[in-house]
Structures are given as structure tokens and as C-alpha cells.
A = this chain, B = another copy of it.
Amino acid sequence: MSPTEQTTKVIRAWAEVFIHRSLRDFRRFLSETGLSHAQFGILMRLYHNGPCGVSHVGEQLGVSRAAASQAVERLVQLGLITRTEDPKDRRVRRLTLTEKGRALSEAGIAARTRWLEELADALTPEQQEAITQALALLTQIAQTND
């Protein structure tokens, strides 16, 4: 069963608003911190999925190992991640977020979600409840469908 035309329309309108607002705030965050989009992408990878090697970062970003290595180097110099030797395979550099890196990751997430949280302020408790249930449902289905 395909979504109705009405549902599709609502979804697209919502997506437009979401992307527009999130991106605007996120861009400001990036320019304040001086990080590039790709650099923050690496932080998010480590934040969500834990430590990994340099090649893995490159694959996720769709760039060569060399480019990934260079990007990692910049983040290390900024004190956002650390490179340690993996005891199981000493060829691998295990990349881990520092405290500073973790804090910055969370600040970035907050920058993208703050507008939505503020939006929730404007709702009645009943509306908040309905929204919460709807988003929780969508999130749950999305995570199992990924």
C-alpha cells in the first residue's frame, strides 16, 4: 500500500522544513567551530558507532584512504580524536573521540535539534504527547528498516 497523496504531500512539506531549519543552524555551528562538513561526519561516525580504523572512515565518506588519513590528521591536531595502535592488528590505527571531541559532537547534535525542541515548547501537553508518539513510532520503524 502506497501512502496517499495527502500523506506524501505532508511528508515532503515536513522534510523541507526540517532540512531547511536543521541545516541553517548546523551551518552556523560549523562556521563557529571551523569544522568542515566532512570532518564533523567523522566525529559523528565515531560518536555513534564507536572507534574504528582510518580505512573504515574513508569508506563511509566515499574517499580514498589517503584522504581519510589526512582528514584524521587534522582532527588529531585539533585534539578531537586520538590515534592508538590496535593490539589485535598493529597495522590498524584505532580512532577514538577525546572528551573534547565527544562534547563537540553533542553540541553539533544539539545545534540541529534545538529548533525542534523549541517548537515543542509552543505545543499544548496533548499535542506534545501526540507528536512524541508519532516521532517515536517513525524512529523505531526507521531504525529497524535501515
Contact = CB atoms under 8 A, between A and B. Distances in A.
Give the copy number: 2
A49 to B, nearest CB: 11
Interface of A: 1-4, 6-8, 10-19, 21-22, 27, 31, 37, 48, 62, 109, 112-113, 115-123, 127-128, 130-139, 141-143, 145-146
B15 A138 contact: no
B113 A15 contact: yes
Given A3-B128, A14-B136, 14 more contacts: A2-B121, A7-B132, A8-B120, A11-B113, A14-B138, A15-B109, A15-B112, A16-B109, A17-B138, A27-B62, A123-B137, A131-B134, A131-B137, A134-B134
Contacts of A119: 138, 141-142, 145
Contacts of A18: 18, 22
A137 to B, nearest CB: 7
A92 to B, nearest CB: 25
A77 B2 CA distance: 38
B132 A10 contact: yes
Nearest to A142: B17
